[in-house]
Amino acid sequence: MRKRVLLIEPAYRAKYPPLGLMKISTFHKRRGDEVVFYKGTNVELRDQRWDIIYITTMFTYQWNITIKTIKFYQRNKINKNIKIGGVLASLMGDEVKKETGIRPHFGLYRKVDRLPPDYTLASNYYTNDANIGYITRGCIHNCPYCAVPKLEPNYEHFIPLKNQVDPNKKDLILLDNNVLASNEFHKIIKGIKKYGFYKGAKFNGRLRYVDFNQGLDARLLTDEKMKLLSETAIKPLRIAFDSIRYKKLYIEKIKLAHKYGIRNLSNFILFNYNDTPEDFYERLRINIELNEKFGLSIFSFPMRFIPLNAKDRNYIDQAHWTKQQLRGIQCILHATHGVVGPKRPFFEKAFGKDAEEFKYIIEQPEEHIFHREKMNGYKKSKANNRKKNEVVTYRNI
């Protein structure tokens, strides 16, 4: 019997379409079911009769809007078959059940995971011209700030691209958590090139790109693997720089990218997690120095650490940060749309010329940060001036 299926994504801000729901849509459409997708709450849809309602979830700090969305669709008592899945639902299953009475699905939905996504659901996202998928699952590390070991505990070394590539889409976005850990990496690169995502490849006259969107593990990035990556249409190359203790390793891998002609790079800069404002600033400034030294274009994306069970974004690493400092960074990033660009003049205007000036900026009232002309000019004290020559630079990288 043909079923009526409603797919719901809560109305939180999302950069990428809900891949899980897209695969569920494929599953039901292949069975001949009627499928409707909606983002947010809709009274007209809620008050209809549905055989199944699937509600996806994402980050735990989106708790309030997620729970409100679930309860909204529960108000029509006719629709008792409501299924909840996704990251928040998996990490906080007991609390979701306590709030809603529904036991969420945990982890991957294996029944649909290898199916191609239904890209008709992605038309309102900026990635609507890209294939989205995985060629590995899981990660070999067990970083305490990461949900992957819980959600995907078993590492899978190879998942074929065959059922994931739509020939009518230009680009390829891969969401693998640690593709470099695969013992089938040669095979992975061969498959990427086979499906038309090799260096210089074009689609309808436009250059294609491959984006390992979750970043590559610098610890596993060898000369051989960098060479293989350079044979694909990779843009940008993403490498995480989550701690200043990886400075030497990070710089070494950026040099390796330069060696193989990769010029467009991006990285994730974790902060508010066992680091300091000085550490954070130094990691950003290293990228500015690398850009100048090697003629690169590295864009940084600072990412504020939020615990895996947090229901909001208010967490503060109080050993190293203050609420005012974290808010100050958010004010700066609001003006830069969350991105730290590669040019020194803009960087120094936004973040300061050194770590001391950076701390001064982020400790100012919001109004002064947003309207920098109202801020008193930063002046070093005599004591600070005596230490000027001790400030670390990276001109000899």
Q: What is the pLDDT of residues 250-276, one digit of tens each?
A: 999 999 999 999 999 999 999 999 999
Confidence of residue 368 (pLDDT cuts 50, 70, 90): confident
Say if residue 12's pLDDT is above 90. yes
Question: Does 14 fall in a domain?
Answer: yes
Residues 188-200: pLDDT tens digits? 999 999 999 999 9
**Model confidence at 389, in pLDDT bands (50, 70, 90)?**
very low
Name the domain count of the chain.
Answer: 1
pLDDT band at 397 (very low <50, low <70, confident <90, very high): very low
The pLDDT of 235-242, averaged and rounded, is 95
In a domain, 92, yes or no: yes
Q: Is the pLDDT of residue 280 over 90?
A: yes
CA distances 45 to 13, 79, 105, 218, 260, Å, are 21, 11, 23, 47, 53
Q: Residue 30 CB: number of other CB atoms within 10 A? A: 10
pLDDT value of residue 128: 83
Parallel, antiparallel, or unpaired: how do β-strands 210-212 and 264-271 relate?
unpaired
- Mean pLDDT for the stretch of residues 24-30: 98
Q: What percent of the chain has pLDDT over 70?
A: 93
Is 28 domain-assigned? yes
Distance between CA 117 and CA 383 in Å, rounded? 60
How many whole angstroms separate alpha carbon 254 and alpha carbon 251? 5
- 10 Å CB burial of residue 375 (0-12, 13-18, 19+) is middle
Question: Per residue in 35-70, pLDDT tens?
Answer: 999 999 999 999 999 999 999 999 999 999 999 999
Res 379: pLDDT: 62
Task: Mention every residue, 6+ apart, whose C-beta is less than 8 A from residue 47.
Answer: 76
- How much is the pLDDT for 358? 97
Q: Is the pLDDT of residue 394 over 80?
A: no
With respect to residue 80, please indicate whether it lies within any of the assigned structural domains.
yes
What is the average pLDDT score of the chain? 92
Helical (H) or strand (E) element with 38: strand 34-39
- Residue 324 domain flag: no
Is residue 376 a contact partner of residue 365, using CB atoms and an 8 Å limit?
A: no
pLDDT digits (tens, 9 = 90+) for 128-139: 899 999 999 999
Q: Let me know if residue 292 belongs to a domain.
A: no
The model's pTM: 0.91
Please name every residue paired with 389 in a beta bridge, in sequence order, or none if there are none. none
The string of pLDDT tens digits covering residues 169-188 is 999 999 999 999 999 999 99
* Residue at 173 is within a domain: no
Residue 393, domain member (yes or no): no
Is residue 392 scored above 50 in pLDDT? no
pLDDT digits (tens, 9 = 90+) for 318-354: 999 999 999 999 999 998 889 999 999 999 999 999 9
- The pLDDT score that the predictor gives to residue 347 is 95
> Please, which pLDDT band fits residue 384 given cuts at 50, 70 and 90?
very low
Higher pLDDT, 197 or 391: 197
The gap between the terminal CA atoms of the chain, to the nearest Å, is 66
Looking only at the bridges linking them, the beta strands covering 82-86 and 130-133 are unpaired
Query: Which domain, by its residues, includes 61?
Result: 4-100
Residue 386's pLDDT band (cuts 50, 70, 90)? very low
Which CATH number goes with the domain that contains 75? 3.40.50.280
Answer yes or no: is pLDDT of 376 > 80.
Answer: no
Cα 250 to its chain centre, rounded Å, is: 19
Residue-wise pLDDT for 61-117, tens only, equals: 999 999 999 999 999 999 999 999 999 999 999 999 999 999 999 999 999 999 999
Cis omega (within 30 of 0) for bond into 342: no
Q: How high is the pLDDT of residue 381?
A: 52
299 pLDDT tier (thresholds 50, 70, 90): very high
pLDDT tier at 375 (50, 70, 90 boundaries)? low
